[in-house]
């Protein structure tokens, strides 16, 4: 007798599936060009089967047809995520003591500047105005509303600084895809190839990080960093 394959979804599976549905909604409205920031990063890291299923959901949902679930059977993860009863959403608990960028850098074993650039490139930080004409890298409102981070101030007239939820810090670190970056570097056979690949794919990284990853000298990296128009200095 065949065992019943229906099972309860784990929190991780529910989160993954709901993120897929959110991305599918965005694609259904404006195509893949409608993706940016974290949704674009999430979509880019989907496996081929999940990406195909996400696109099925996106383009099927335009017509309100059953195919909007990607042909999901009643026992599938997508069906369960769409039909489970959910408790009313509550605002996240305020973060009063979180992990700073320096704390995350220490966990990753890298310098603070590189960590800051990674967080900014993946949507966890944004250059925001404060106190008139000044600017600082702070946690965006969308991240705060999800409970992943906050902007705190030290003292009555202190300068704001970003912190991140200890509960979600491993997810945040995973989203930075540092392993994927180092694997891409290792796939290049020469120092010049490594540096060129980093400039092309991760040009937001600081010169020192690109020099360390590629094995090229720091002066060489500074001299050859492409200008915004694509030419080298």
Domain enclosing residue 211, as ranges: 178-224
- Domain match, 159 and 118 both: yes
Residue 88 in domain: no
Contact (Cβ atoms closer than 8 angstroms) between residue 226 and residue 199 = yes
Residue 134 in domain: yes
Q: How confident is the model at residue 78 (pLDDT cuts 50, 70, 90)?
A: very low
Of 22, 50, 83, the residue at which a domain comes to its end is 83
- Domain match, 24 and 67 both: yes
What average pLDDT score do residues 159-170 get? 90
Number of domains in the chain: 3
Q: What phi, psi does 156 have (nearest 5°)?
A: -65, -40
pLDDT at res. 24:
79
- Domain match, 149 and 165 both: yes
Residue 231 in domain: no
Residue 229 in domain: no
Residue 91 in domain: no
pLDDT at 112 over 70: yes
Does residue 25 come out as left (phi exceeding 0), alpha (psi in the -120 to 50 range) or beta?
alpha
The mean-pLDDT minimum among 3-12, 62-71, 187-196 falls in 62-71
pLDDT tens for residues 6-30? 344 455 666 677 777 778 777 877 7
- Domain match, 184 and 164 both: no
Which of 37-41, 45-49, 207-211, 225-229 tops mean pLDDT? 207-211
pLDDT at res. 229:
44
The pTM is what?
A: 0.60
Could you tell me which of 36, 31, 75, 73 has the C-alpha nearest to residue 54?
Answer: 31
User: Which distant-in-sequence residues (6+ apart) come within 8 Å of 58 by Cβ?
Assistant: 23, 24, 25, 26, 27, 28
pLDDT at 130 over 90: no
- Domain match, 66 and 105 both: no
- Domain match, 166 and 191 both: no
Of 83, 114, 129, the residue at which a domain comes to its end is 83
Q: How confident is the model at residue 79 (pLDDT cuts 50, 70, 90)?
A: very low
Residue 66 in domain: yes
Cite the beta strand spans of the chain per DSSP E: 126-130, 134-138, 149-153, 160-164
pLDDT at 74 over 90: no
Residue 3 in domain: no
Residue 95 in domain: no
């Amino acid at each position: 007798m065949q065992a019943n394959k229906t099972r309860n979804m784990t929190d991780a599976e529910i989160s993954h599936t709901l993120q897929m549905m959110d991305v599918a909604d965005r694609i259904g409205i404006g195509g893949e060009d409608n993706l940016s920031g974290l949704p674009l990063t999430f979509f880019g890291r989907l496996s081929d089967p999940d990406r195909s299923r996400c696109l099925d959901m996106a383009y099927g949902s335009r017509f309100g047809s059953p195919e909007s679930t990607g042909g999901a059977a009643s026992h599938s993860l997508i069906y369960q995520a769409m039909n489970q009863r959910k408790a009313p959403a509550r605002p996240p608990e305020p973060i009063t003591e979180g992990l700073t960028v320096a704390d995350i850098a220490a966990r990753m074993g890298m310098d603070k500047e590189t960590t800051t650039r990674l967080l900014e490139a993946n949507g966890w930080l944004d250059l925001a105005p404060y106190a008139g004409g000044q600017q600082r890298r702070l946690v965006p409102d969308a991240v705060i509303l999800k409970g992943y981070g906050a902007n705190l101030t030290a003292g009555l007239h202190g300068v704001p600084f970003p912190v991140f939820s200890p509960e979600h810090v491993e997810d945040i670190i995973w989203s930075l895809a540092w392993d994927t970056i180092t694997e891409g570097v290792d796939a290049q056979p020469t120092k010049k190839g490594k540096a060129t690949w980093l400039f092309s794919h991760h040009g937001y990284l600081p010169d020192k990080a690109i020099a360390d990853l590629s094995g090229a000298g720091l002066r060489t990296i500074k001299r050859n960093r492409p200008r915004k128009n694509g030419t080298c200095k």
